[in-house]
Amino acid sequence: MGYPILPALKQAGRRVGSLDRTLIMLVVLLTSVFPVELFPNTPSPPKGIDGQYSARQGQVVLVKVPLDEEATDVKGSFLDRTIPFFRELRPGEPVGYLGLVGIDMQDAPGTYELAVTIKNGEQAIKRLSYHVLVTKEKFAVEHLKLPKDKVDLDDKTLARWKLEQDQVRKALADNSALRLWHSGFVEPVSGKRTGIFGSVRIMNGQPRNPHNGEDIGAPLGTEVAATNDGVVRLTVDHVFSGRGVFVDHGLGFYTMYFHLSEILVKDGDLVKAGQIIGKVGSTGRATGPHLHWGVKLNGARVNPYALLDLPFKDGPAPGLSGSDFHFSPESHRIKQ
Ligand SMILES: [Zn+2]
């Protein structure tokens, strides 16, 4: 009696096995595509008060403004930050403008207005108002106990750090008016993510600045790729961040790569997505080789992995043609 059942069982076993594998593959695939969404205990964000936009702290909202009339300038204002919109031209779809609204990791939860002004020449032809609901992200809290002299900076180090902060502020004060980035964001290093973006560090009982990037652990010398097209705005060797590269992707969007052992680009270089710009190291204050990857979006410190999750379709960026790349790095810059 057992005989006829056995092949059926085997068959069923095989089926379950392959179903399991499919499920595992699906979960692996989904977690790599939506790394944050599948985090346990993270509820899906509620919608804005009128069903408009919502996002957690440190995330990025893609806002679409449909528009069929001529416009020369579309700008949003959100929490005192200016959001430049760019034209979306996709065959077969209505013309519109897109903007990336970064939610800073420390923006207080609440509903805020995104006010969009559409101009044609000097004339404002339309004003639109959206609501963006900012919800709380659960950031990790790290308690660290270190010898006092490792935590408290001496005057010389503090002075150096302040000068370096000024240098960065100046270099990133102007935004390229051209969008250089496109939808194909590249993870600069595929290593072990520590998931500590936004984590609050309490050193010897004192709260410090939250961690404003993501750390990716990788062996010393691992190649670091630019996440998208852009121009190298600044290369540094700083007390905390070590050897670092700041890439300007245009329209107020910057990426940063810190603690490098080697920098392979120089200020003003144009880089392409995936181009190797340096190598993983542990320069500056780093406990071991890793890449600190940071993103600033119109002044908001956002989770770099939020870029990889943006709901873009495959293919080149809307409205971005080859001719957009013929520009000189120093031209087309606007004051924020
Ligand atoms: Zn870091």
Tell me the per-residue pLDDT of 96-152, one tens digit each, with 9 for 90 and over.
899 999 999 999 999 999 999 999 988 888 999 999 999 999 998 988 787 777 677
Kindly give the distance from the C-alpha atom of residue 189 to the centroid of ligand 1, in angstroms, as a whole number. Answer: 14
Q: Write down the pTM of the prediction.
A: 0.77
Kindly give the distance from the C-alpha atom of residue 323 to the centroid of ligand 1, in angstroms, as a whole number. Answer: 36
Kindly give the distance from the C-alpha atom of residue 211 to the centroid of ligand 1, in angstroms, as a whole number. Answer: 6
Kindly give the distance from the C-alpha atom of residue 93 to the centroid of ligand 1, in angstroms, as a whole number. Answer: 41
Place 174 in a pLDDT band, splitting at 50, 70 and 90.
confident
Give the mean model confidence (pLDDT) for residues 153-175: 91
| Tokens matching residue 142 | 């790290």
Query: 208-214 long-range CB contacts below 8 Å, 24 or more apart?
Result: 210/105, 210/106, 210/139, 212/105, 212/294, 212/301, 213/256, 213/258, 213/292, 213/293, 213/294, 213/295, 213/301, 213/304, 214/292, 214/293, 214/294, 214/303, 214/304, 214/305
Kindly give the distance from the C-alpha atom of residue 216 to the centroid of ligand 1, in angstroms, as a whole number. Answer: 8
Q: What is the pLDDT of residues 176-198, one digit of tens each?
A: 888 999 888 999 999 888 878 99
Question: What's residue 21's pLDDT?
Answer: 47
Kindly give the distance from the C-alpha atom of residue 292 to the centroid of ligand 1, in angstroms, as a whole number. Answer: 4
Mean pLDDT of the chain: 80
Residue 31, φ and ψ in degrees, nearest 5: -65, -30
Residue 139 in contact with residue 198, Cβ under 8 Å? yes
Kindly give the distance from the C-alpha atom of residue 173 to the centroid of ligand 1, in angstroms, as a whole number. Answer: 22
Distance of alpha carbon 224 from alpha carbon 208, whole angstroms: 28
| Tokens matching residue 221 | 């010398």
